[in-house]
């Protein structure tokens, strides 16, 4: 088996990535109250932490885009959408949501295979 084939077998696994997102969101946001002055820093911290944890999965040749949105929990709905062009055989995404009495957080990770 060639090196390129071996690398290609290590695919982005949405459930594995979702587990990472879930743990980071709960570990970081559990017990916090919504604060509009703090949420930009929390979003930045969450996206950096998620990205560094994904690198530990050792899925080489993937580039990650991590998007985090935090809002105040007021019982209202929110819609979140995206569009992308990618290779359906290798590129994918995962997402998870954290909800408390005062805040909600949605984190999405897009994994795109980088072929040299």
Q: Please give the helix or strand (H or E) that residue 72 lies within, else none.
A: strand 62-72
Whole-prediction pTM: 0.86
Per-residue pLDDT band for 3 (boundaries 50, 70, 90) equals low
* DSSP, residue by residue, 15-59: HHHHHHHHHHHHHHHTTPPP-TTTHHHHHHHHHHHHHHHHHTT--
Q: Kindly list the structural domains of the chain, giving each domain's residue range(s) and its CATH number in brackets, ordered by start.
A: 3-113 (3.30.1140.40)
pLDDT tens per residue across span 66-113: 999 999 998 777 777 877 888 888 899 999 999 999 999 999 999 999
By CB atoms closer than 10 A (0-12, 13-18, 19+), residue 78 is: exposed
């Amino acid at each position: 088996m060639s090196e390129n084939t071996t690398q290609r077998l290590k695919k982005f696994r949405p459930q594995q990535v979702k587990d990472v997102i879930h743990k980071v969101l709960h570990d970081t946001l559990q017990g916090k109250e919504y604060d509009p002055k703090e949420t930009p820093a929390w979003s930045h911290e969450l996206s950096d932490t998620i990205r560094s944890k994904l690198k530990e999965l050792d899925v080489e040749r993937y580039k990650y885009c991590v998007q985090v949105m935090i809002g105040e929990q007021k019982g209202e709905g929110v819609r979140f959408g995206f569009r992308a062009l990618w290779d359906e055989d290798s590129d994918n995404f995962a997402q998870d949501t954290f909800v408390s009495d005062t805040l909600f957080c949605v984190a999405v990770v897009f994994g795109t295979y980088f072929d040299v």
